[in-house]
Amino acid sequence: MYPRLFYFSRPPVLIIFSHEFMIAFQLRKPEIHRILVVKPRAIGDVLLSTPVLPNLRNEFPNATIHFLVEKFAAPVLAGNPYVDEIISYDTKTQSSLSIISQVRRNKYDLIIDLFANPRTAVITALSGARYRVGFPFKWRRVAYNILVKPRSGEVHNVEFNLDALRKLGLKVKSRNPLFYLDSRSGNFSAEFVLKHHLKANEFITMNVGGGWQTKRWSIDNFGRLSQMIASRLGLPVVVLYGPSEAQEAASIAETTNAILAPPTSLHEMGAIMTSSLLLVTNDSGPMHIASALEVPTLAIFGPTSPRLQGPYGNISVIVRNEALGCLECNLTKCTIGNLCMTNLGAETVFESLLILVSKIHQISDATTAKVNAKTRKPDETV
């Protein structure tokens, strides 16, 4: 049966009268057969939750694992071998009750809510799952019977998500975000590279978008950087973008020699990135896709923290306006003119790009030396 639930929106209070909700459970692994991971959005946040999946599969090799995500972010999980089913929903057309009904029908034993906002807390609370894992954010804490201490201001978002597994006493063996390309996306990239007479690892990609306006470096500066790359390094630049950024991206191609990519899916964009030498990007979903695909990344930061939300595990360089004392403010609107972005010049970003290029060459040279050492015959001398 549903527990009795009362919900008041001002202020939000969730009161659930059920003896079960007053009990703190300790996980019994043999009882776990069906698992649901909840992370509705956004592109980057969903991607940074994917390390949870191989670790769950390692601990529960025979369990069914589902993932609940909003429709626009579902492609992040496409092709992931650790997910048996992606349950996507549209907040514009589906009510919370319809989602709750679907979740209850699936009879999960364990739900891990990595988002813990009002909607996901209520979905988890009414799921019927014996084990409900989540974070004690305000009133939402009553939705869960296994509470995870949030470390959102202390550790990278990847580790924040993995803390849910640690709370359950599960081993964490894998930490890398996962994004899988399919052959169709690879073919798309190959055709694009061929059409524009590009060579693999001999062009640079730029992503001009970002979720918040305050995280976006100016289009004019991206244009200036594109010209610097072409004139000083002799490398072509390919401009990538999301659906809402097409006009801004086109303006760069119109005023420089940059190549405008066609509209792409996330996987097509990722495939083009993997063919490039590196990606220059704002803090965004594509930045995390590049990181998961091990594409060297120059990440432009301002209101967010690279320590908490930066590229994870790949070759990367962070550039930001270090002269400011208001960095990492986490504001989506700025009252002082978004100085972290507007006062960050193209020359400064280009200097950081040179540092990244140097890192790439050093690693390439070291890898070549290792290969040569392994293939050299015992009697050969250098």
Does residue 11 sit within a domain? no
Q: Are residues 211 and 145 in the same domain?
A: no
Q: Are residues 137 and 269 in the same domain?
A: no
Per-residue pLDDT of 342-364, as tens digits, reads: 999 999 999 999 999 999 999 88
What pLDDT does residue 24 have? 54
Does residue 5 sit within a domain? no
Separation of alpha carbons 342 and 377, rounded Å: 56
First to last CA, the chain: 76
How many CB atoms lie under 10 A from the CB of residue 3? 14
Give the residue numbers spanning the domain of 36. 25-167
With vertex at residue 337, the alpha carbon angle to CA 333 and CA 341, rounded to the nearest 5 degrees, is 85
Q: Are residues 221 and 129 in the same domain?
A: no
What pLDDT does residue 380 have? 57
**To the nearest whole percent, how much of the chain has pLDDT over 90?**
84
Per-residue pLDDT of 284-305, as tens digits, reads: 999 999 999 999 999 999 999 9
What pLDDT does residue 27 have? 86
Q: Which of 167, 202, 221 is the last residue of a domain?
A: 167
What is the average pLDDT across 322-335?
94
Which two structure tokens, joined as six digits, stand for 319?
């550039």
Tokens 């590279």, residue? 193
Q: Are residues 134 and 240 in the same domain?
A: no
> With contact defined as beta carbons under 8 Å apart, do 164 and 155 qualify?
no
Per-residue pLDDT of 158-210, as tens digits, reads: 999 999 999 999 999 999 999 999 999 999 999 999 999 999 999 999 999 88
What pLDDT does residue 378 have? 58
pTM above 0.85, yes or no: yes
Per-residue pLDDT of 117-141, as tens digits, reads: 999 999 999 999 999 999 999 999 9
Whether pLDDT at 1 is above 80: no
Q: Across the beta sheet with 34-38, what order do the strands follow?
A: 85-89, 64-70, 34-38, 110-113, 131-134, 146-147
Helix (H, G, I), strand (E, B) or coil at 13: strand
With vertex at residue 99, the alpha carbon angle to CA 95 and CA 101, rounded to the nearest 5 degrees, is 115
Q: Are residues 237 and 310 in the same domain?
A: yes
Does residue 111 sit within a domain? yes
